[in-house]
Amino acid sequence: MSTLAAPAAPTARRAWLTDLPVLLVAVVWGASYLAAKGITTTHTVVAVLVLRFGVVLPALVAAGWRGLRALTAPQWRGAGTLGLILSGIFLLETYGVVHTSATNAGLIISLTMIFTPLAEAAVTRKRPPRAFLAAAGLSVLGVVLLTQGGGFTRPSPGDGLMLLAALARTVHVLAMSRIKAVRDADSLSLTTVQLGSAVAVFAVLAGAGTGESPWSVAADFGVREWAGLLFLSVFCTLFAFFVQMWAVRRTSPSRVSLLLGTEPLWAAAVGIAVGGERLGVVGLVGGVLVLVGTSWGRRAR
């Protein structure tokens, strides 16, 4: 038995070395809601989005230049369409987090894991398993309680925007699976074109006078704001993308998905521990139900 068990240690160690960076991505994504909330106001949402993605876009273009040149016209159009949807997601998420807590934002957006299989079942007309439907119901109940953490009141506008963002993420996932042209596209090139399209939308909105200009916001940023912006740009975007590409080649996509699925847990932990947010008893129960429901739903699916 000892000779058979010996090779397990290096294998387990390699798996842990692969899992750790992916788990770190989930942590920084969870922290991104509080970071975005800390540097953004209602009047600076568009400007912050231009700066956030404008910083990393040149690096992505440089890294994937050869792949970008190899894209066909249909792939450019498909990726551009996905980028338009992506711009809507980021606008909804960023406006949403300004008007709700970082904890609520991270937990509500996790409903994407429930909405996507339900939407896919509706499109394919295949009834999802009963266990998944039960998990979906538990998650929805959790969100209702989560938004009532201070007593039964009307959910905040930010909660509604985060719910719309979760639906928009679902549309993005379905569109990616149904636009045939992008299925065989290089993932780096696809991401670069999507972000480029999103930045173009943000730039147009900024030019149309939607809030403050990126230049005035950049000029007003202090050390804390620039640190928050670079955290969102470098860690939550650039680092996260390359870690996912690296990890998928070394482990299974389902394992990566499972680790990234811990994002709402980290969002709640950072919001409470660092941001000083409080859920209340009702909200705490709701948050737990969201985490249990989405985790159960991922396994039931």
Q: Which of 116, 210, 106 is nearest to 158 (CA)?
A: 106
pLDDT tens string, the chain, 301 residues long: the values are 333 444 444 465 666 677 788 889 989 998 999 999 999 999 999 999 999 999 999 999 998 899 999 999 999 999 999 999 999 999 999 999 999 988 888 888 888 877 888 888 888 888 878 887 888 788 878 877 776 655 445 678 999 999 999 999 989 988 888 888 887 888 889 899 999 999 999 999 999 988 899 999 999 999 999 999 999 999 998 898 888 878 766 766 666 766 777 788 888 888 888 888 777 787 788 878 877 877 777 676 6
Single-letter amino acid code for the residue at 15: A
Calpha distance 44→40 (Å, rounded):
6
Q: Which of 241, 196, 186 is nearest to 82 (CA)?
A: 196
Which pLDDT score is estimated for 95? 96
Taking the alpha carbons of 138, 139, 143, 146 in that order, is the dihedral positive or negative? positive
Evaluate whether 269 touches 30 at the Cβ level (below 8 Å). Answer: yes
Site of tokens 């939407």: 119
Contacts of 277 (CB under 8 A, 6+ apart): 101, 102, 103, 271
Q: Which of 96, 98, 95 is nearest to 37 (CA)?
A: 98
Evaluate whether 88 touches 168 at the Cβ level (below 8 Å). Answer: yes
Tokens of 184: 């065989």
Which pLDDT score is estimated for 258? 67
Tokens of 297: 């739903």
